[in-house]
Structure 1
Amino acid sequence: MSHAIADLFSLHGRTAVVTGASSGLGARFALVLASAGASVFAAARRLERLKDLADADPRIHPAVCDVSREEDRVRLMETALDETGRVDVLVNNAGMSGAVRAEDESADDFADVLAVNLVAPFHLARLLAEAPARDRGRTTRSIVNVSSVLGLVSGAPLGGAAYAASKAGLVGLTRELAGQWGPSGVRVNSLAPGWFRSEMTDELFSDERSRRWVERGTMLGRGGEQGELDGALLYLASDASSYCTGHVLTVDGGWTAR
């Protein structure tokens, strides 16, 4: 029985693509999927960091990619398909934050954030859906769109208009693509983390006042720690969630449950 349960979470023989993989949550996601047996194409702009990641696990393949560029997105997916013949898992993790105050954010700035956080995930998801499927039956391809609690509730005085709009848009995109592509065996779900330490949130946790704000608003009284998204990600990526699509899995210590 234990072997059968472990098989539910296995990604042996699968190929995964993870964007924004050069640091923080993305780097961790790549390592988690590789440890589950997947060949992982870790995509980001910073090659040296990707090489360090590949040194940690030979199943990780560095892939230089600026997700804001259409040609880079196409090349990323083509590379994974050419080298392994398949793409089974896509983790749309790359993102940018933008300005916190709406009055400090121009229309062009707003559009730039959406280009990275929403347009790029849509295009990459479409590229996966259009690729030929290698397996039939229960095994399906899985897209995990990394949203945020700020796509579900206001984070004021922190957050940002473009960032919140892009993450809320990812939730809507997740549900719509799940509905359209479910019959063809492509599952689309969203992972919505709460407050986790990363390059993007380093100032938040370094400042005592904002750190206490996080602690007060979280039922567990703290921010998320490294590794506490591992299980949720692996669940959505693997056959353990084979009957789950169009879902937003929130991992936030109770932030949005208040």
Structure 2
Amino acid sequence: MSALFSLKGQRALVTGASRGLGKAIAQALAEAGASVICCSSQVEGASATASQIEAQGGQAYALAADLSDLDQVRLLAEQALALGQIHILVNCGGTIFRAPAVDYPMQEWQTVMRVNLDSAFLLSQLLGAQMLKRGQGKIINIASMLSYSGGITVPAYTASKHAITGLTKALANEWATSGLNINAIAPGYFRTDNTFALQQDEVRNQAILARIPAGRWGEPEDLAGAAVFLASSASNYVNGHVLAVDGGWLAR
């Protein structure tokens, strides 16, 4: 059974790997045996993640790309492919901007959409082309609880995460017959930089906790199993699926 979840001989690219969910996913894939390319928006930003993976006996590389700049995204794909075939792509890099919809700056809207959606599509397209030729590949997009609801003062983030679930299904419809698996993980309320404002808001924090059956916020490490499952052969008949890892939030 353990062979189903083994990633030995696989190479993964994980965006947003400098901290939070992306870092935890990169470490989990490495622990399962994958060689991991850790990407951050800042030069050397993912070096610490790569160093930790190597210190634990794994193989890792650190690359940088501003996901709001599609030219840099293209270069990232080229740099990743220069290291060899990419078997697993995890589109985890993301950003958020909070403001009432009536005052929401269009520049911030466009930045959020480029980082959260456009970069995910472009990387999937560029790396997916190689996967299609090989007849095998795993793409994991990071969705959100705001893929299901509207949120408050985060219209661009919500729109991008709804779109990520649609993109996941659209790519699965086109590429599943060629041996690719395209799925998404929808994290619940996790302790990350993106949710810091909510954690610090006593009223919102308590309201969120009251709705989570597990009775706690998620920790980045709680995504490890889901990520390895969707990256491994254990999920070979799972396609176009959005896997909620939410402590029961959606069930409440």
Task: Name the TM-score, length of structure 2 as normaliser.
Answer: 0.93
Within the alignment, does 1:235 sit opposite 2:192 as a pair?
no
Residue 189 of structure 2 aligns with which residue? Answer: 195
2:227 aligned partner, one-letter code: L
The whole-number CA distance in structure 2 between the counterparts of 1:76 and 1:11 is 22
Q: 2:8 is aligned with what amino acid?
A: H
> Structure 1: where are the runs of 5+ without partners?
none
Unaligned runs of 5+ in 2: none
Give the stretch that moved more between structures: 30-39 or 198-207: 198-207
Q: In the alignment, what sits opposite 1:34?
A: 30
Q: Which amino acid aligns with 1:88?
A: H
134 and 181 in structure 1: CA distance in 2 versus 1, 3 angstrom threshold: closer
More displaced 10-residue stretch of structure 1: 48-57 or 127-136: 127-136
1:147-174 CA distance string (max 9 Å, x none):
1011112333xx5111000000000010
Aligned equivalent of 1:106: 105
1:17 and 1:162 map into 2 onto residues whose CA distance is 25
Code of the aligned partner of 1:188: I
Counterparts of 2:8 and 2:132, CA distance in 1: 16
Preserved CA contact (<8 Å) 2:132 2:180: no
**Selected match of 1:162 from 156, 167, 189:** 156
Instruction: Note closer, same or farther for the CA distance 1:49–1:112 as it changes in structure 2 (3 Å cut).
Output: closer
* 1:150 to 2:115 alignment: no
Find runs of 4+ consecutive structure 1 residues off by over 4 angstroms. Answer: 132-136
CA contact (8 A) 1:91 1:144 kept: yes
1:72: Cα distance to partner? 1.7
- Normalising by structure 1, report the TM-score: 0.91
Give me the identity figure in percent. Answer: 39
The residue identity in structure 2 corresponding to 1:78 is: E
| Separation of aligned partners in 1, 2:134 and 2:163 | 30
Please tell me the root mean square deviation across aligned C-alpha atoms, in Å. 1.6
Aligned equivalent of 2:125: 126
**Would the aligned equivalents of 2:132 and 2:175 in 1 still touch at CA under 8 Å?**
no
Structure 2 counterpart SS, 1:154: coil
Check the 8 A contact 1:188/1:246 in 2, yes or no: yes
Q: 200, 218, 221: which one pairs with 2:215?
A: 221
Q: Which moved more, 1:208-217 or 1:120-129?
A: 208-217
Q: How far 1:108 sits from its partner (Å)?
A: 2.9
Q: Distance in 2 between matches of 1:165 and 1:233?
A: 23
**Are the aligned partners of 1:30 and 1:60 in contact in 2 as well (CA < 8 Å)?**
no
CA distance in 2, matches of 1:112, 1:77: 20
Contact (CA 8 Å) 1:175, 1:188: kept in 2 or not? yes
